[in-house]
Amino acid sequence: MSRRILPLLLLMLLAVPAAGQARTASARIARVVTPVATLQGVTVRLEWPDAAETGRLTLTARQVTAPDLGYRFDNLTWHCPLQRGAQQDGWRCEGQIRSAGREPLKLGIDLATASTDAVLAGGGSSLALHRNAAAPDITRIELTRVPLAWAQALLAQAWPEANLKAGQMSGSLNIHTPESRPLRVEGRLAFAGLGLDTPDGSIAAEGVGAQVDLDYRKSAGLSLVTVEGSLRGGEMLVGNGYVALPATPVAISIAARQQGESGWEIPQLLWDDGGAMRVQGSLAFDAQSNLRDADLRMESADMAPLRPRYLSGWLGLFGLGELGLQGAASARMQVQGGELIRAEAQLREVSVIDAQQRFRFDGLSGNPVFSAGPPVDSALRWRGGEIHGLAFGAAELPLDSAEGGIGLRQEVTVPMLGGGLRFEDINLRPPAGERGLEFDFGLTVEGLDVGLLAKALDWPAFQGRLDGRIPKARYADDRLDFEGNLVTHMFDGTVQVSGLAMERPFGTAPTLSANIMMDDMNLQALTGVFGFGEITGALDGSIRNLRLVDWKAEAFDADLHTDPNWKGKRRISQRAVQDLSSVGGAGGLGDSLQAQALKLFDDFGYRRIGIRCRLAEEVCDMDGLRSAGNGFIIVEGSGLPRLTVVGFNHRVDWPTLVERLVAVTQGDSKPVIE
């Protein structure tokens, strides 16, 4: 129909008698149908001056639609000079085309006897169309540096939510539009700097390069797509998954289908990034683009590139965005109805290294399996590792999994600090639906060497033994809660930890809370280890409501005092008096005459020693044994010479107090004794 309009206008011109003036012919056509597009409200006007070699053609259309390609143009106008074709067997017209809301472009059309050619160009880009009368159902399109925005409408047919933001494409496409359908678009394309996103931000791409062979078909509500090719460079985001494509090609192969309004199914998927990762299998999504079914197999001969290329997004949710991986692994994951039903891995000498040095596992091997159905036995082992600087030895975990959980088949002891951590049970439940990762375990601490612990943490040279039992520890909603107590036997006394809990244990700024009770600790040994002035006696006390954020004290209520039931000598050295004065903010040790006399003695008798600190918002509210006027008593003397240490600073800046503590343990304190 479209090819008949121009010859009809030319016949009309020939029928008008020449009178030395321009001849004009026009036509109004309600509807023009072509294999690719339909034009509504068409007006064609041809003006041909007498004896001129060219005429002026003006075509307007109220609306142009290409439903199979997804395009619509309103109020389209095209002006061009009409002339004979190069072979004198047709017509050629080239001029500017405008459409409401769009930038003007240049459109050139050649109507030959056996073919139709059109070129749409602008801004250094061009789209060329060719149709041959011998094969009228095939339209060939050649693209040269075409902005991807030109393909927005076509992409919307298969993926309505996608918004093309940047990039260019070159290549060729064949569009098959037989009267009996289906529509088919196939060809080879190269993309540069591809950028896209979706309104909800769940999918995005930036700077992606690609070379693909594309085949898209649509008929009777069924859409079929196959893509074969490679990706190179750029970044992609899919949900929480972030992909940083390497400079080397990543081979892809996808076969997908969609029936009506249902979700897309991908029965064939291949992603081949060489030794870093090869994934193949199938996927299916529901109408809301949520994962419904999956069967994926993964192989990695070198896991080092996995985190920066593929895993940093998911790992970042747990504060592990810089996790280091080494070794090799293979895995398989199966999902049905949106639920994980089975996952298994084969680990081959895998090392997992936290960049913040919170943990490390060396030589992970085995075949851990998760099953949402029947029970499956497996095992996981390692050669050693560290947790917060504390080394642990080799162990093997015998595992079983059934009904959506995975746990230990029997107790396992992990060697650590001359003793061991005996795990009585471990039960892990992967995320499902709205529920996140959950696990629980029972733990017995057996004979850990406190000296080794202190050395590993760069503490003073404590000595003793750490024992205890945690009947149950439970992790859920990014919080780890412990039942039971840990008891350390040190300095002839005990330290008991209860109410232990951690928030974000695997994330950023982990928070620890606990209550600590101390009983009968030998002060002479304790002050000796800290480099504090010598005190004899026994120390009792508590640190309640302790809260550490990123391992720094944020709050606590500490009360430290000597044991009134101590039967031995109670002596405090001149150095210890000075150190307590510095830490407690003491204003003096009596009047000037008494102070001068006290300097003659190396140590003194005391009745009681006590100091309190309640920390909140980086300020420590200080107190002692009891009030003394405007101050508080830290040391209550006994015998002759008699001394009393009084503190006057009730509110002390916590960082300043920490500096004082460091100074006295390093012998740098310089208190004033009057």
CA torsion sign for 15, 18, 19, 20 is positive
> Do 367 and 344 form a contact (C-beta atoms < 8 A)?
yes
Residues 6+ apart with CB under 8 A from 606: 537, 562, 570, 571, 572, 635, 636, 637, 638, 643
Structural domain range at position 207: 142-260
- Pair 174, 32 in one domain: no
Report the SS3 class of residue 151.
helix
Query: Contacts from 2-9 at CB under 8 Å and sequence distance 24+?
Result: 2/32, 2/34, 3/111, 3/116, 5/29, 5/32, 5/44, 6/46, 6/57, 6/82, 6/91, 6/111, 9/44, 9/46
Residue 105 covered by a domain? yes
Let me know whether 18 and 106 are in one domain.
yes
Query: Which residue type, as a one-letter code, is found at position 302?
Result: D
In a domain, 184, yes or no: yes
Weakest mean pLDDT among 12-26, 269-283, 364-378, 637-651:
12-26
**Do 146 and 109 share a structural domain?**
no
Residue 352 is encoded by which pair of tokens?
């997992």
Summarize pLDDT for 199-249 with one digit per residue, the tens: 888 889 999 999 999 999 888 888 999 999 999 999 999 888 899 999 999
Confidence of residue 490 (pLDDT cuts 50, 70, 90): confident
8 A C-beta contact, residue 479 and residue 501: yes
DSSP-derived letter for residue 114 is: S
Count of other CB atoms within 10 angstroms of residue 535? 26
Per-residue pLDDT at 37: 74
Report if residue 196 sits inside a domain. yes
What pLDDT, on a 0 to 100 scale, did the predictor assign at position 96? 93
Residue that finishes a domain, picked among 260, 294, 315: 260
Tens digit of each residue's pLDDT (9 = 90 or more) over 75-127: 999 999 988 876 667 888 899 989 887 888 898 888 887 888 888 888 888 88
> Residue 16 in contact with residue 8, Cβ under 8 Å?
no
Predicted local distance difference test score (pLDDT) of residue 669: 43
Half-sphere exposure of 214 (CA within 13 A, CB side): 23
Domain-embedded: residue 211: yes
Statement: residue 597 has pLDDT above 70: no
Query: pTM for this one?
Result: 0.71
Q: State whether 105 and 171 are in the same domain.
A: no
Please indicate, yes or no, whether residues 89 and 152 belong to a single structural domain of this protein: no
Least Cα distance to 534 among 599, 567, 579, 589 occurs for: 579
Q: Average pLDDT, stretch 442-451?
A: 88
- Identify whether 291 is part of a domain: no
3 state DSSP class of 393: coil
Q: Check whether residue 97 and residue 199 sit in a common domain.
A: no
Number of domains in the chain: 3
Residues 597-607 have a mean pLDDT of 72
651 and 533 share a domain? yes
Q: Are residues 185 and 224 in the same domain?
A: yes
User: Sign of the CA dihedral 528, 530, 535, 536?
Assistant: negative
Token pair of 302, please? 């070198």
Has residue 214 been placed in a domain? Answer: yes
Mean pLDDT computed over every residue of the chain: 85
**477 torsion bin: left (phi>0), alpha (psi -120 to 50), beta (else):** left
Question: Which residues, 6 or more positions from 4, have their beta carbon under 8 angstroms from its beta carbon?
Answer: none
- Residue 86 CB contacts under 8 Å (≥ 6 apart), including other chains: 92
Does residue 320 sit in helix, strand or coil?
coil
Domain end: 260, 285, 314, which one?
260
Q: What angle (nearest 5°) sits at the alpha carbon of residue 72, between those of residues 70 and 74?
A: 175
pLDDT at position 101 is 78
| Co-location of 82 and 216 in the same domain | no
Confidence of residue 69 (pLDDT cuts 50, 70, 90): low
d(CA 249, CA 208): 11
Q: What distance in Å separates the CA atoms of residue 299 and residue 329, rounded to the nearest whole number?
A: 6
In a domain, 282, yes or no: no
Give phi and psi for 87, each to the nearest 5.
Answer: -95, 10
Tell me the angle at which helices 654-665 and 574-584 cross, rounded to the nearest 10 degrees. Answer: 170
Contact criterion met (CB below 8 Å) for 150 and 170: no
Among residues 206, 229, 260, which one ends one of the domains?
Answer: 260
Kind plus residue range of the DSSP H or E element containing 530: helix 523-530
Question: Is 511 contained in some domain?
Answer: no
Contact assessment for residue 598 and residue 643, using Cβ atoms and an 8 Å cutoff: yes
* Segment 424-445 mean pLDDT: 84
Quick: pLDDT tens for 39-60.
899 998 988 888 788 889 899 9
- Give pLDDT tens digits for 541-585: 999 999 999 888 999 999 999 999 988 889 888 888 877 777 665
CA of 357: how far to CAs of 386, 597, 649, in Å?
8, 53, 39
Q: In the chain, pLDDT over 90 holds for what percent of residues? A: 42
What does the pLDDT average to over 602-628?
A: 89
**Is the pLDDT reported for residue 631 higher than 90?**
no
Q: Are 529 and 670 part of one and the same domain?
A: yes
Q: 245, 276 in Cβ contact below 8 A? A: no
Does 47 share its domain with 185?
Answer: no
Give the β-pairing of 369-371 and 390-392: unpaired
Let me know whether 163 and 92 are in one domain: no
Give the Cα separation of 56 and 75 in Å (integer).
Answer: 19
CA distance 624 to 633: 5
> 18-33 pLDDT, tens per residue?
545 567 888 888 988 7
How far apart are the C-alpha atoms of 378 and 401, rounded to whole Å?
8
